[in-house]
Amino acid sequence: MHVRTGISTTVAANNYKVMLRFQRTFGTAARTLSLSRPDYTNIHEPVSSLFTQPTTAAEWEQYALSASQVEEFNKTGFLASGVRVMSDEQVEILREELEQLYDRNHPSADLWYAFDCDVPTDDPRDNLFHSLGAWRLSPGFHDLCWSPALRMASYQLLGGPMSLLHDQLFCKPANDGGVVAWHQDFSYWTWTMPRAHLTCWIGLDDVTTESGCLWYVPGSHEWGLLPMTGLAGDMNSINDVLDSAQAEALDVTKVPAELPKGCCAFHHPLMLHGSYGNSSPNQRRATVVNMMREGVVSNCDGKDMGKFPTVPTGLPMAEHSPCYPPLLHGGSEEEALMAEAAGAARNVAAPLDLREFEKDMAELREREAATSYKHTH
Ligand SMILES: O=C(O)CCC(=O)C(=O)O
């Protein structure tokens, strides 16, 4: 397993603790708006020193994927070789913040886009916990979106600057059978277009097949867009919309993404993935950062957006709501440094083209017609 270690992560974690102590003492002298009801939505840069940001191409280079990693992602639709995003100390800080986030009465609980368990429960730690929007409530989860390893690799894989769509928490208690059913992420994101998205999954515990790691079906990112068939409950509900060759490929070629805590896996928005229950005696916690290329526009009209802010259809997401912040600005000095650091080891993305989205939707309709399954979002 290839594991990269960013420099100075221990120093950064220590600085972060000092900063939090400073915040507690001096309140608004530190960057957060209110410590009694934290809301980081409008701060579109790191709010803490948890991650040290590179300032030269050489510093960015330590986080760069190799050309063969980029190639592997393009070929299989995922990269689970264990890119390190956080040190153990940084993971520990996020775990501490997570403990606060489980509180249904958190002072900023209204900022969650979703806060669910597969089976309703008083304490979210008791069942498979799935929530969206932690970056708005919590400084460490906020700053993780701007972490250098995540941004550098995402820039290389997406082939351009990117914005945040949303983040997620997926936490499984010890000895719990809750699954995340096989699905493609883009089935849930057709309220944005065209498809130019990327997912970064990061373990907050060491994850193994026993503890319910993520599984991928190599090459399934070339199967076209599939309907949503559910995220919890029945692991195999996706079989309702697969043809027999795909159902067999899922069965025979699926691979587990076992990873040490703090390391991540990247996957393509059409990658078929899911996770089985946790039969280990340890909890399995993970956080996910979902990104889109700069310039992706809204397709919200007529859709039930739940608690996600609506942007009028056709307008760029990042420019029209603070909830979809740029993580890397196109044409910035930072982008130039990252391009230099990546060298030839990066994708060159085609211009965003809404006809590509029409192709996705045509594939979806074809699949629905073939399987009498109705797309519901
Ligand atoms: O963590 C899990 O078990 C599921 C994660 C997932 O579905 C995702 O990252 O899209």
274 C-alpha to ligand 1 centroid (Å):
6
In the prediction, which pLDDT does 45 show? 97
Instruction: List the residue whose alpha carbon is closest to atom 10 of ligand 1.
Output: 185
Question: Residue 274 has which token pair?
Answer: 């899911």
Q: Which tens digit of pLDDT belongs to each residue from 264-284?
A: 999 999 999 999 999 999 999
* pLDDT over 80 (residue 6): no
Ligand 1, residue 212: give the atom nearest the CA: 3
Look at ligand 1, atom 1, and give the residue with the nearest C-alpha.
170
Helix (H, G, I), strand (E, B) or coil at 310: coil
Q: What is the pLDDT of residues 31-81, one digit of tens each?
A: 445 668 899 999 999 999 999 999 999 999 999 999 999 999 999 999 999
pLDDT of res. 122: 86
Q: How confident is the model at residue 1 (pLDDT cuts 50, 70, 90)?
A: very low
pTM for the structure as a whole: 0.92
Q: Could you give the CA distance from residue 94 to residue 242 in angstroms, rounded to a whole number?
A: 38
- Residue ranges per structural domain of the chain: 9-376
Q: Kindly list the distances between the CA atom of residue 287 and the CA atoms of 37, 86, 141, 293, 305, in Å, as whole numbers in the listed order.
A: 22, 12, 9, 20, 22
Instruction: Copy the structure tokens of residue 114.
Output: 């979703």
pLDDT (0 to 100) of residue 164: 98
Residue 38, burial from CB neighbour count under 10 angstroms (0-12, 13-18, 19+): buried
Q: How far apart are the first and last CA of the chain?
A: 38
185 C-beta closer than 6 A to ligand 1: yes
Whose CA is closest to 150, among 289, 270, 10?
289
Q: Specify the pairing of strand 297-298 against strand 197-203.
A: unpaired
Ligand 1 centroid to residue 213 C-alpha, Å: 9
The pLDDT score that the predictor gives to residue 34 is: 62
pLDDT at 375: 52
Give the Å distance between the CA of 292 and the centre of ligand 1.
17
> Cα(278) to centroid of ligand 1, in Å?
13
Class of domain 9-376: mainly beta
- Pocket lining: 199 vs ligand 1, CB cutoff 6 Å: yes
Residue 272 Cβ < 6 Å to ligand 1: no
CB 180 near ligand 1, within 6 Å: yes
| For residue 11, pLDDT beyond 50 | no
- Residue with CA closest to ligand 1 atom 7: 274
Residues shown for the chain: 377
Ligand 1 centroid – CA 290 distance (Å): 11
